Amino acid sequence: MENQKIINLDLINLAYAYGLILLAIALARLQRIGQEGEMLWASVRMVIQLFAVGYLLHLVFAVRSPLAVIAILLVMSGFSLQVMGSRIKRKMPDFYRVMGTSLFIGCGGVTFLLCGLVIGYSPWYDPRYLIPLAGMIIGNSMNGASLAAERLSAEIYERREEIETALCLGATARQASETAVRLAFRAALMPTMNTMAAMGIVSLPGMMTGQILSGTEPIVAVRYQIAIMCAITGAVAITSFLILLQGYQRYFNNAHQLKDEN
Amino acid sequence: MDKKLVTLRLERICVERPGRDGRKADILSDISFSAHCGEVTAIVGPSGGGKSSLLRLINRLSDPACGTVYLDGEDIALLDPLLLRRRVAMVPQKPFMFEGTVLTNLQRPFLYRHEPLPGAESAELLHSLELARLDQELIGRDSRTLSLGEQQRVSLARALITKPGVLLLDEPTSALDRPTGDQLAATIHDICRSQRLAIIIVTHDLRLAGRIADYLLFLEAGRIVEEGLPESILSRPQSPELRRFLSDPVKGEL
């Protein structure tokens, strides 16, 4: 197979593609949506961010040092924590500690399994594998984690009566918040489940199409896609589970009392 | 006073809430009283006077900022809250029905304790239904289809099924119409006498308090303003606060 035969895009090619954004802006102007400025700014940001990340990755690929790869992964995780922190309005107590440890264990453990056992490349820090795979795992776990945290606090807030009734009847904090935790866990897993069910029929996943574009045999690309989907599901489940396990306790004190303000 | 009769004693209780400007505001201050088994103690006062907060301290849904609650001489802060809540049952203002039948609702306390669940024909279940005057036919019904009065009785039966020594009732009749409320009040009174329970009832309904209370405390703005036997207190109020409350039937009845 003549594998590495991908066509490079030069800036002229990209300019043609960018023309489509200008077309979109023109249409927005025609319809008087009044958001042409924002569209332009978003597209410029996209281009700058991607070029920046491209050069950064280029650098990391060239250096091939485990420290550089780990630094990139840490920045990614930190950024995802920050995104979650700004997106979730009603935060549980110790929000960053709970979310941080859960993401770290869930994503770290699953990435380790996927890279070490399932794919088994070496060296372990090879950025060509570790960065995109960990990136996908972190990104999906972040979504699951924020759904879990958000739903948990909403459920506990809305089920205050139910929880206190259960406490009155002798329930422990864990028993009293069981329904809230269960619903939050289900909400966290829902998008991943839907993606899995629709995969291949409704949409061709991005990683698979990317691999096919760059010359990988579709059969091989499919296997990678299956492996990453399993990893994502596992990471989302472990991360959300850990968040809920630590999270529900934050709403109670040692005397099995539901704390006042949440 | 016979010491054996004292089941519950609250001493110099205060509860604080963080105020808007960071300073602490008192919800309750310097509350002391006793409740005895076989008696109904009613805590009466306008809404927002801290009555519910007071009730929540007794089964430790929350803790006071100062003061002590004694149950049979023991400081409840030193007891395991889960064990305490077996001895001190509470019926919240709005009856909450868990998804499922009346039977599964009544089994909840046993579920939480990992004890074998009593069946529909078991003695303890039938006894609690009888105490709450609930029709046995209702046991298989979806609890959320019951009327509010029936739900309130299920809530009562569920609190009684594990044989507590103290029963806390938060505005038990406030959501009910007058005949249904009167019937429930009679039920509560009978339970108190037959089971030798110490019942503490929080209400803004003077009629209810007058009917079933053996002892009455009038609470306003977080303080006990007047206390005594309901006959004497209600017919000869001493304080301007209680007189105002008595003369304003809208407040009294809501």
Helices within B2-147 (DSSP H only): 51-58, 81-87, 102-112, 123-131
pLDDT value at residue B59: 94
Q: Which of A33, A63, A93 is the last residue of a domain?
A: A63
Task: State yes or no: pLDDT of B251 exceeds 80.
Answer: no
pLDDT value at residue A238: 98
Does residue A45 sit in the same domain as residue A163? no
Does residue A107 sit in the same domain as residue A175? yes
Asked whether residue A7 is assigned to any structural domain, the reply reads yes
Does residue A165 sit in the same domain as residue A200? yes
Where b means 16+ CB within 10 Å and e means fewer, B131-168 reads: bbebeeebbeeebeebeebbbbbbbbbbbbbbebbbbb
Does residue A153 sit in the same domain as residue A220? yes
Mean pLDDT, rounded, for B67-81 = 95
Query: Where does the pLDDT of residue B39 fall: very low under 50, low under 70, confident under 90, or very high at 90 and above?
Result: very high
The model carries a pTM of 0.86
Q: Of the candidates A165, A166, A256, which has its C-beta nearest B81's C-beta?
A: A256
Tens of pLDDT, residue by residue over B104-139, are 999 999 999 999 999 999 999 999 999 999 999 999
Mean pLDDT, rounded, for B46-64 = 91
Token pair in block for residue B131:
């105490």
Does residue A69 sit in the same domain as residue A59? no
Q: Which of A30, A46, A63 is the last residue of a domain?
A: A63
Task: State yes or no: pLDDT of B250 exceeds 80.
Answer: no
Sign (positive or negative) of CA dihedral A247, A250, A253, A258: negative
Asked whether residue A256 is assigned to any structural domain, the reply reads no
Q: Which amino acid is at A41?
A: W
Does residue A108 sit in the same domain as residue A19? no
Most B-contacting residue of A158, A168, A183 (CB-CB within 10 A), to test interface = A168
Token pair in block for residue B178:
């007058």
The residues of A whose Cβ lies within 8 A of any Cβ of B are: 161-162, 164-172, 175, 255-258, 260
pLDDT value at residue B230: 92
Token pair in block for residue A185:
């866990």
Does residue A100 sit in the same domain as residue A225? yes
Q: Is B199 exposed, middle or buried (0-12, 13-18, 19+ CB in 10 A)?
A: buried
pLDDT value at residue B221: 87
> Do residue B61 and residue A258 have CB atoms under 8 angstroms apart?
yes
Token pair in block for residue A17:
């593609």
The residues of B whose Cβ lies within 8 A of any Cβ of A are: 59-63, 81-82, 85-86, 89-92, 94, 96, 98, 108-109, 112-113, 158-159, 162
Task: State yes or no: pLDDT of B10 exceeds 50.
Answer: yes
Q: Is B217 exposed, middle or buried (0-12, 13-18, 19+ CB in 10 A)?
A: buried
Most A-contacting residue of B27, B60, B62 (CB-CB within 10 A), to test interface = B62
Q: Of the candidates A169, A171, A255, which has its C-beta nearest B60's C-beta?
A: A255
ipTM: 0.91
- Taking the C-alpha atoms of residue B185 and residue A93, their distance in angstroms, rounded to an integer, is 42
Closest CA to A77 of A53, A52, A107, A97: A107
Asked whether residue A260 is assigned to any structural domain, the reply reads no
pLDDT value at residue B1: 43
Asked whether residue A40 is assigned to any structural domain, the reply reads yes
| Chain B hits for A258, Cβ within 8 Å | 61
Where in the sequence is the domain holding A23, given as residue range(s)?
Answer: 1-63
pLDDT value at residue A18: 93
Does residue A109 sit in the same domain as residue A212? yes
Low-confidence ranges of chain A (pLDDT < 50): 1-2, 262
Does residue A78 sit in the same domain as residue A173? yes
Tally of structural domains, chain A: 2
Asked whether residue A261 is assigned to any structural domain, the reply reads no
pLDDT value at residue B174: 84
Report the interhelical angle of A218-250 vs A95-112 (nearest 10°). Answer: 150
Tens of pLDDT, residue by residue over B154-204, are 999 999 998 999 999 999 988 888 888 889 999 999 999 999 999 999 998
Asked whether residue A229 is assigned to any structural domain, the reply reads yes
Does residue A105 sit in the same domain as residue A226? yes
Does residue A1 sit in the same domain as residue A88? no
Q: Which of A16, A46, A63 is the last residue of a domain?
A: A63
| Chain B hits for A168, Cβ within 8 Å | 59, 61, 85, 89-92, 159
pLDDT value at residue B212: 92
Residue A202 or residue B38, greater confidence: B38
Asked whether residue A199 is assigned to any structural domain, the reply reads yes
Does residue A59 sit in the same domain as residue A69? no
Asked whether residue A37 is assigned to any structural domain, the reply reads yes
